Amino acid sequence: MASTLRKITMAVLAPAMAIGATVGLASAPASAAVWSSCDQWANTSLNGYTLYNNIWGSGAGSQCIWANSGTNWGVNANHPNTGGIKSYPNSKKVVNKSITSLGSLSSNYNVSVPSSGAYNTSYDIWDTNYRYEIMLWVNKTGAVGPLGSSQGNVTLGGHTWTVYKGTNGSNQVFSFVRTSNSTSGTVNVLPILKWIKDTKGWFGNETIGDVQFGFEITSSSGGLNFTTNNLTVSSS
């Protein structure tokens, strides 16, 4: 998206920032979680994953994050019905392997998402230099759309996507938007990376740094729940 780089930049800087900056008021889940916070840049590490509340967009409302583990977490978000991305709460797994050295890179996901609001559920994949961003949208609702121009449809990694190629002014963005919404499944990420590298030649043998998974929320007026029931990211 237009300011996509900021979400990774702020996620990286979060440990060094003042975590006491609470944005509005929202409610954590009724059941006790291992960790929860309503702070704007709240983050924690659990089971090899790093979780971020990551409220980074202009005009954001309130949002609280909770986690039972690095792979089971969610947010209650109350962002106004205005344009522009307000937040990208996510769970990050560090890979730090070049594309050619990867034997596999895949992920399982299972989410519960609202039927209203404006958001997408997406993977956000970065090279270590943050020159390239690969987004995989597994579902979307409301007035949201990817950057760039359509490059047509392709079936890769177990899904059929419409591919978009663009830039946000800081880095290249390649967005793969699933042609139908899904709330659970498996994505074989490595063939997607190889297709970008070998078939399209849009980048070289990049070192993949972070694989993030979360909810890119534009609006969720009244307070909506977004839950990652299960997430695993594995590589070899």
pLDDT tens track for 39-86: 999 999 999 999 999 999 999 999 999 999 999 999 999 999 999 999
**pLDDT on residue 31:** 55
> Is 193 exposed, middle or buried, given 0-12, 13-18 or 19+ CB atoms closer than 10 A?
buried
What local confidence, expressed as pLDDT, does residue 121 receive? 98
Asked if residue 83 lies in contact with residue 143, where contact means CB atoms within 8 angstroms, the answer is: yes
pLDDT given at position 29: 53
CATH number at residue 123: 2.60.120.180
pLDDT band at residue 141 using 50, 70 and 90 as cut-offs:
very high
Residue closest to 139 by CA, chosen among 155, 122, 154: 122
What SS3 state is found at 211? strand
Across the range 15-44, mean pLDDT stands at: 64
Share of the chain above pLDDT 70, in %: 86
47-50: long-range pairs with CB below 8 Å, 24+: 47/71, 48/93, 49/91, 49/92, 49/93, 49/231, 49/233, 50/91, 50/92, 50/94
Q: Amino acid identity, residue 234?
A: S
Question: Which pLDDT belongs to residue 78?
Answer: 98
Residues 187-234: pLDDT tens digits?
Answer: 999 999 999 999 999 999 999 999 999 999 999 999 999 999 999 999
The number of domains in the chain is 1
Residue 169 burial class via C-beta count within 10 angstroms: exposed 0-12, middle 13-18, buried 19 and up: exposed
Residues 183/112, Cβ–Cβ less than 8 Å:
yes
Helices (H), the chain: 4-13, 189-194
What distance in Å separates the CA atoms of residue 69 and residue 88, rounded to the nearest whole number? 18
Higher per-residue confidence, 122 vs 22? 122
| Strand-pair partners of 234 | 106
- The overall average pLDDT reported for the chain is 90
Q: Confidence band (pLDDT; 50, 70, 90) for 4?
A: very low
Output the six-digit token pair for 158.
Answer: 């177990």
- Other C-beta atoms closer than 10 Å to the C-beta of 5 total 17
pLDDT for residue 139: 98
**In angstroms, how far is CA 173 from the centroid of its own chain?**
13
pLDDT of residue 21: 37
pLDDT at position 6, please? 46
What is the domain range of residue 86?
4-235
Strand, helix or coil for residue 4:
helix
pLDDT over threshold 60, residue 7: no
Q: Report whether pLDDT(18) > 90.
A: no
- 56-to-165, 172, 195, 218, 232 alpha-carbon distances in Å: 23, 20, 31, 11, 25
The pLDDT score that the predictor gives to residue 23 is: 42
pLDDT of 13: 40
* pLDDT over 50 (residue 110): yes
